[in-house]
Amino acid sequence: MDYEALGLMVGLEIHQQLRTHKLFCSCPSELTDEVGKEFVRRLRPTQSELGEVDRAALQEARKRLTFRYQSANTCLVEADEEPPHEVNEEALRTVLTVAKMTDASVVREIHFMRKMVIDGSNTTGFQRTGLIALDGHIDVNGRRIRIPTFCLEEDSARPVEGGRKGEKVYRLDRLGIPLIEIATAPDIRSPEEAKVAAKTIGSILRATKKVKRGLGTIRQDLNISIRGGARIEIKGVQELDLIPLYVENEVKRQLRLTEVAEELKKRNAGVEREIYDLTGLFEASESKIIRNALKKGGKVLAIRLPGFAGLLGVKEGESERRLGPEFAQYAAVVGVKGIFHSDELPAYGVTEEEVENVKKALKIGEMDAFVLVAEKEGTARDALDMVLMRAEMAFKGVPEETRDAKGEGKTKYSRPLPGKARMYPETDVPPIYIDDEMMDSIEVPELREEKVERFVKQYGISRQDAEQIVDTEKDDIFEALCEYGMPKVAVRALLQILPEVGDVDEKGLRDAFKALKDGRFSKEGLEQVLSNMAKGMTIDEAIEKAGLGMMSEYEAMEIARALVSERMDFVKDRGQGAMGPLMGPFMAQVRGKLDGKKASAILRKAIEEVL
């Protein structure tokens, strides 16, 4: 596809969890399998300072849900039973670091805001978020991608399974984990560029060493539009490598919908607001879905869509359905699992005869379509209202929406794009003034590539080793150990020995390297020493226990002499040629206690003595 011709514009919104305690209390930022005490709450939308109620908030309120919260690993702050504490400074400094790395300008005074979210994922009904810096940028393959905003915010509670009917369950362990939110301008022009930009931002974030690693700790939202389409926000893309696929699929969806809109206008199609009760036509239906709905006292309701025929299902020669899934996803908002539409019937147990009856009852012409819902009457009406609303939008092409990433590049409608009125000041958190002194104290860390490059040059280690050191965040300890002048030994200790024998802290590693440098044991004995230290021994105990105290030259000479006298005939016979064969048995007795070079010098001397 020619994305430039299509006018593709993509913006990224990256949310990355920080590896500090929570943003507004001192609870650990760690997930737990425990449930803890449970409690139940409801939320209501409220007026914001400008007197407008958020439309996304209203849609959530319509669902009238009760929320059950599991509180293990959290305190009263997450439960909304205590005001937030002062902002976590370590988290704030991390955002300031990222801002500095991307040439952004930090706002002088940070004001945290309440962003209305009443789907229950925040016990307060809002997410606390602060704008920390403005107008930074990154460069991607020579193109500048602007980053207008850098925010610090609370992560939401984690949805979990369970709960009674009508309840949504959340665990509070994730609520309040600091998130850095980086939003780029819609400067990205291709699916691949979106991925590279996300990778670049990821690498900047990781350079701070304050970010969490692993699945679920970073989340990408994509803002995608094409010319003639609309801005669509896709939330919760987990895998970097799938970003291009999500972009491609959304472009295709927008193209399909734009084409449908043109076709609708050409056909002079319309939407009729009337909802028909067709229950009578389905009393003997074989369709399981319909039978179940009727058994529960439900009804079969229908709407007619003049001029929509063929625009709901798959277009010939293509694989994706057109308006059908859009309608179904809107209906799902009020809790209806599925709808039937004329482009896919007869199917799902609905017979041809029944379809004909419906067509007759609704006076469906050749170019007309219909949609059926079998549910309790109230729910069915709500669902068809949603479908009608979506059908009206179809004339405009692509409606602005928030969609959820469903994996494998697929998305699903979740709600309208939130309006502007969704924020008001968080007055419980005092504003934070960022002075020059604070900004000066922020150090800009090296990016991964720069650091790898430097390690290769400065310490003479391989690129592969350097990358592994940096990627596993062992770079600081590596450089500390390099002070003892043995970079390759440090690499071996960090990448090979420690993963085998267990962890030794920085002080322990420094002790071991100092002892090694002082000649208290040899390189060959390092694994044994570190293994002992991993079990909790001090350096002295570890050397002692390993029996690795360095041997004196005198002792080594004695061993060499004994060996030579045992094999006197062989030595006399081969002269210095006996060196090679004798080295093995000699090393067996002195390994780890004597440097290899020194050992061979001593053995040579012992042989010379008898020649």
Which of the ranges 136-144, 215-223, 314-322, 423-431 carries the binding residues for another protein, by CB under 8 A? 423-431
DSSP assignment, residue 591?
B
166 sits near another protein (criterion: CB under 8 A)? no
Which of the ranges 265-273, 315-323, 379-387, 429-437 carries the binding residues for another protein, by CB under 8 A? 429-437
Could you tell me the smallest distance in angstroms from the CB atom of residue 215 to another protein? 29
Say how far apart CA 51 and CA 70 lie, in whole Å.
33
**In 184-231, where do the E strands start and end?**
218-225
424 sits near another protein (criterion: CB under 8 A)? yes
Say how far apart CA 375 and CA 553 lie, in whole Å.
93
Which residue, 109 or 241, has its beta carbon nearer to another protein? 109
Which residue, 132 or 551, has its beta carbon nearer to another protein? 132
Question: Quick one: 398 exposed, middle or buried, by C-beta within 10 A (0-12, 13-18, 19+)?
Answer: buried
Which residue, 366 or 436, has its beta carbon nearer to another protein? 436
Which of the ranges 45-53, 490-498, 514-522, 525-533 carries the binding residues for another protein, by CB under 8 A? 45-53
Give the pair of three-digit tokens for residue 487. Answer: 């970079």
Number of residues that bind another protein (CB under 8 A): 51
Could you tell me the smallest distance in angstroms from the CB atom of residue 392 to another protein? 27
Three-class HEC string of 40-81: EECCCCCCCCCCCCCHHHHHHHHCCCEEEEECCCCCCCCCCC
Which residue, 80 or 272, has its beta carbon nearer to another protein? 80
Could you tell me the smallest distance in angstroms from the CB atom of residue 505 to another protein? 40
Which residue, 79 or 557, has its beta carbon nearer to another protein? 79
Say how far apart CA 270 and CA 265 lie, in whole Å.
9
Find, among 196, 9, 207, 210, the residue nearest to 93 by Cα: 210
134 sits near another protein (criterion: CB under 8 A)? yes
Per the DSSP assignment, residues forming a β-bridge with 182 are 14, 150
Interface positions, 100-119, toward another protein (CB under 8 A): 105, 107-109, 111, 113-116, 118
- Report the SS3 class of residue 458: helix
Say how far apart CA 31 and CA 158 lie, in whole Å.
9
For another protein, which residue of 27, 87, 224, 423 counts as binding (CB under 8 A)?
423
Find, among 510, 469, 513, the residue nearest to 491 by Cα: 469
Interface positions, 73-92, toward another protein (CB under 8 A): 76, 79-83
Question: How many residues are present in the chain?
Answer: 611
Which residue, 123 or 258, has its beta carbon nearer to another protein? 123
For residue 564, the surrounding DSSP H or E stretch is helix 553-566
Which residue, 79 or 240, has its beta carbon nearer to another protein? 79
Instruction: Quickly tell me which residue has 């239906």 as its tokens.
Output: 285
- Number of CB atoms found within 10 A of residue 499's CB: 10
Interface positions, 430-459, toward another protein (CB under 8 A): 430-431, 433
For another protein, which residue of 3, 126, 370, 484 counts as binding (CB under 8 A)?
126
Could you tell me the smallest distance in angstroms from the CB atom of residue 427 to another protein? 4
Which residue, 84 or 191, has its beta carbon nearer to another protein? 84
For another protein, which residue of 32, 36, 63, 135 counts as binding (CB under 8 A)?
135
Say how far apart CA 354 and CA 281 lie, in whole Å.
7
41 sits near another protein (criterion: CB under 8 A)? yes
25 sits near another protein (criterion: CB under 8 A)? no
124 sits near another protein (criterion: CB under 8 A)? yes
Which residue, 45 or 487, has its beta carbon nearer to another protein? 45
For another protein, which residue of 131, 188, 371, 599 counts as binding (CB under 8 A)?
131
Q: What are the respective helix, strand and coil percentages of the chain, to the nearest 5?
A: 45, 20, 35
123 sits near another protein (criterion: CB under 8 A)? yes
Residues 16 and 211 sit within 8 Å (Cβ to Cβ): yes
Could you tell me the smallest distance in angstroms from the CB atom of residue 112 to another protein? 9
Which residue, 128 or 210, has its beta carbon nearer to another protein? 128
Residues 557 and 605 sit within 8 Å (Cβ to Cβ): yes
Which residue, 27 or 311, has its beta carbon nearer to another protein? 27
Find, among 502, 497, 485, 552, the residue nearest to 526 by Cα: 497
Helices and strands in the chain: count of H runs, count of E runs? 22, 21
Which of the ranges 34-42, 214-222, 235-243, 439-447 carries the binding residues for another protein, by CB under 8 A? 34-42
Handedness of CA 64, 170, 406, 288 (dihedral sign): negative
- Report the SS3 class of residue 217: coil
422 sits near another protein (criterion: CB under 8 A)? yes
Residues in contact with another protein by CB under 8 A are 39-47, 49-51, 57, 66, 76, 79-83, 105, 107-109, 111, 113-116, 118, 123-126, 129-131, 134-135, 149, 151, 420-425, 427, 430-431, 433
